[in-house]
């Protein structure tokens, strides 16, 4: 299982490196969306601090959506997905490999760049560290939940738009608690509840999402 996981993960990352425009597009989209807000609301530091965490989280959410429909669609169209199902390896393990590749391509760059964006909003060092932690906990959940939608819409015309409509309601709690933790920290409130819920979401989605995705893929291939 480990060899199958690493082989598929390596393959996905190599394909992403050959198509660098996709990675660059996601990163520049995040930078542009996040950087335009200070120009729109003005230079008032108090206002920027309040909206900053939410802006960064919305940018991360939208970046996750950009490449979501391609997690399984390309393999579905060229028949590779069927070979993965018939390979004899646990499909859940292969699904986790593909989701990991999606997070490494779209989520990790956002996590790395987010503290620099946070500086534009005047966030202090402690809040920047907390923003980084919440993104590390929350962005994998975005990839896991989003991949369920991508699997459910395989073979459907307009699947990318339908995927967004299906999963956006499930993204809202992650957005609320991710950004809310940083805002609570800025206001001097406890952040334990926010972080506990994010950790619970991560554990629950990691346990259940691969099973749901594997079932959806098998249904799509029938």
Which value, in Å, is the radius of gyration of the alpha carbons in the chain? 18
Q: Give yes or no for a contact between 148 and 216, defined as CB atoms under 8 angstroms apart.
A: yes
Rounded to whole angstroms, the Cα distance separating 30 from 156 reads 28
Q: Are the C-beta atoms of 36 and 121 separated by less than 8 Å?
A: no
At 87 the three-state DSSP class reads coil
- 17 and 9 Cβ atoms separated by less than 8 Å: no
User: What are the φ/ψ torsions at residue 36 (nearest 5 degrees)?
Assistant: -75, -25
Average pLDDT value for residue range 64-87: 80
Evaluate if residue 5 carries a pLDDT over 70.
Answer: yes
Decide: helix, strand or coil at residue 54. helix
pLDDT at 117 over 80: yes
Q: Residue holding tokens 């542009």?
A: 32
Q: Give me the torsion for CA of 203, 205, 208, 214, rounded to 10°.
A: -130
* pLDDT tens profile 82-109: 888 887 788 898 899 999 988 988 888 8
Nearest-5° Cα angle at 10, 71 to 91: 55
- C-alpha–C-alpha distance, residues 218 and 222, integer Å: 6
The more confident residue out of 41 and 185 is 185
**Contact in structure between 141 and 201 (CB atoms under 8 Å):** yes
Highest mean pLDDT: which range of 6-20, 78-92, 111-125: 111-125
| Residue among 14, 28, 24, 1 at smallest CA distance from 94 | 1
Comparing C-alpha atoms, which of 124, 123, 115, 136 is closest to residue 178?
136
pLDDT value at 68 more than 90: no
Could you identify the residue written with the tokens 């459910």? 152
Evaluate the CA torsion angle 206, 130, 58, 17 in order and state its sign. negative
Q: Which two tokens stand for residue 153?
A: 């819409």
**Average pLDDT of the chain?**
86
pLDDT at 42 over 90: no
Q: Is-contact 98 71, C-beta < 8 A?
A: yes
Q: How many residues can be counted in the chain?
A: 222
pLDDT at 158: 67
């Amino acid at each position: 299982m480990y060899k199958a996981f690493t082989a598929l993960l390596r393959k996905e990352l190599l394909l992403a490196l050959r198509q660098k425009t996709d990675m660059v597009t996601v990163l520049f989209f995040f930078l542009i969306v996040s950087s335009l807000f200070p120009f729109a609301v003005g230079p008032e530091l108090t206002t920027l601090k309040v909206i900053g965490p939410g802006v960064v989280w919305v940018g991360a959410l939208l970046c996750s959506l950009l490449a979501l429909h391609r997690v399984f669609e390309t393999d579905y169209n060229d028949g590779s997905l069927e070979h993965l199902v018939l390979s004899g390896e646990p499909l859940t393990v292969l699904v986790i490999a593909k989701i990991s590749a999606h997070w490494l391509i779209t989520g990790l760059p956002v996590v790395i760049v987010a503290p620099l964006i946070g500086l534009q909003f005047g966030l202090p060092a402690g809040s920047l560290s907390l923003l980084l932690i919440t993104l590390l906990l929350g962005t994998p959940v975005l990839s896991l939940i989003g991949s369920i939608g991508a699997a459910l819409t395989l073979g459907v015309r307009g699947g990318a738009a339908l995927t967004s409509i299906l999963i956006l309601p499930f993204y809202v709690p992650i957005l609320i608690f991710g950004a809310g933790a940083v805002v609570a920290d800025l206001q001097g409130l406890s952040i334990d509840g926010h972080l506990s819920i994010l950790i619970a979401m991560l554990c629950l989605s990691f346990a259940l999402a691969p099973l749901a995705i594997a079932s959806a893929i098998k249904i799509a291939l029938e």
